[in-house]
Amino acid sequence: MTQIHRGLAGVVVDTTGISTVVTETNSLTYRGYPVQDLAASRSFEEVAHLLWYGELPTTTQLRELEARERALRPLDRAAAEIVARLPATCHPMDVLRTVISYLGTQDLTEDDGSLAANRAKSLALLARLPTVVAADQRRRRRLDPIPPDPSLGLAENFFHMCFGAVPAPEVVRCFEISLILYAEHSFNASTFTARVVTSTLSDLYSAVTAAVGALKGPLHGGANEAVMHTLNEIGEPERVGAWLDRALAEKRKIMGFGHRVYKHGDSRVPIMSQALGRLVAVSDDPRAVRLAELHAALEKAVFDRKGIHPNLDYPAGLAYHLMGFDIPLFTPIFVMSRITGWTAHIAEQLQANVLIRPLGTYTGPAQRDLPVAGRAD
């Protein structure tokens, strides 16, 4: 009897040296470093270097990476026009997917599958994706794009390009922590998608474009947006019980809860929740405290009723709202971070490539003869 592993649940498809999720201890490490230590003391750019090169950068290496990232941020005219011209009715993830595809057509650096070529393309995407996301948010608000500021780090510059101002350091740090936590998570659906595309020896931009499509869905990255829609739908903490009764009776999935790998809590949630707490304390959003109460009440109610823990999207969704980003931008922000993990996996796949091609058990009709051609109706 062939054993079928629907959704590849529990299936180990390859080895990886990039990150590991230890479910027994609910811990996550990038290249051996606990993610909570990285979130406590390192910049997102340092984490990008760690994921790509296997080691944290020296001072000189970090300075070099930062200088190159800052220089690569501007979009060419055609890319900026694509952002401006795509219908505002389409989701910003569609804009991102389309622009990444376009950027692939413009990248004339040799694509020989070497680590050096891969890293150059990865850095170009890391630098340009925030410019795309920020320009998209602004045109949806009928505002002109703001050019990147090379004197600012990646996180600060993103705020600058979105709002024309950099918020308090606590807000920027909360955002940077979210980027560090979202950066990498082993063989999740979008990373696996990137590896499948790479395994055919297709190019990096094709793999990343496909990964964006996989991340968009609400069972994966799209959940951080869905969290905010849920909080808005409930409205007030006092309404959580009745809302949850109805949602569970309708067999709705509560977005931002549950995880395929973590069954006793997502290792990233305590770090992001603490950062969210600090953000609420400095927020000038008049609803911040009530939203935080509602957020905590829903978390408690879902655990009491279903025994299900929140995943990273749960605190990140509210954090992005309190930072002032529009809801459809939340998953593109996830892309700005996960681009590091995806491209590290693309490089790793290429280093020891094998075509990824699973089997399926056929359940259609038994073999049969063709009917006579031209049968009457």
- Cα separation, 329 vs 92, in Å, equals 6
CA distances to 42, 259, 323 from 178, in Å: 12, 18, 12
Question: Rounded to the nearest whole angstrom, what is the least distance from the CB of residue 314 to ligand ACO in the complex?
Answer: 7
Residue type, 64: E
* Contacts to ligand ACO from residues 278-317, by CB under 6 A: 306, 308, 311-313
Among 42, 121, 259, 321, binds ligand ACO (CB under 6 A): 259
**Taking CB under 6 A as the criterion, which residues in 309-368 touch ligand ACO?**
311-313
Cα–Cα distance for residue pair 84/139, rounded to 1 Å: 7
Per CB under 6 A, 253 contacts ligand ACO: yes
Query: Smallest distance from the beta carbon of 352 to ligand ACO, in angstroms?
Result: 26
How does DSSP assign 116-166, residue by residue?
HHHHHHHHHHHHHHHHHHHHHHHHHTT-------TTS-HHHHHHHHHHSS-
Nearer to ligand ACO, 73 or 268 (CB): 268
Minimum distance from residue 41 beta carbon to ligand ACO (Å):
23
Query: For ligand ACO, which residue of 104, 145, 148, 258 counts as binding (CB under 6 A)?
Result: 258
Task: Name residue 34's beta-bridge partners.
Answer: 29
Q: Please list the residues that pair with 345 across neighbouring strands.
A: none
Site string for ligand ACO, 71-110 (x = CB under 6 A): ----------------------------------------
DSSP lists the bridge partners of residue 29 as 20, 34
All residues at 6 or more sequence positions from 266 whose CB lies less than 8 Å from its CB, including other chains: 26, 259, 309, 310, 311, 312
Binding mask 212-231 for ligand ACO (x = CB under 6 A): -------xxx-x--------
Closest-by-Cβ residue to ligand ACO is: 258
Residues 160-219, interacting with ligand ACO (CB under 6 A):
219
Among residues 44, 257, 325, 330, the one that binds ligand ACO under rule CB under 6 A: 257
B/e letters for 1-31, b = 16+ CB within 10 Å, e = fewer, are eeeeeeeeeeeeeeebebbebeeeebebbbb
Active site residues: 259, 313
* Residue 223 vs 350, nearer CB to ligand ACO: 223
Q: Please identify which residue in the block is written with the tokens 């809302």.
A: 243
Q: How far is CA 186 from the centre of its chain?
A: 13
Number of residues that bind ligand ACO (CB under 6 A): 18
How many degrees, rounded to 5, is the angle at CA 238 between CA 237 and CA 244?
80
Nearest approach in angstroms of CB 375 to ligand ACO is 43
- Give the nearer residue to ligand ACO in terms of CB position, either 166 or 189: 189
Using DSSP's 3-state secondary structure scheme, residue 21 falls into strand
Options 123, 255, 297, 344; binder of ligand ACO; rule CB under 6 A: 255
CB of 156 to ligand ACO, least distance (A): 24
Which residues make up the interface to ligand ACO (CB under 6 A)?
7, 219-221, 223, 253-260, 306, 308, 311-313
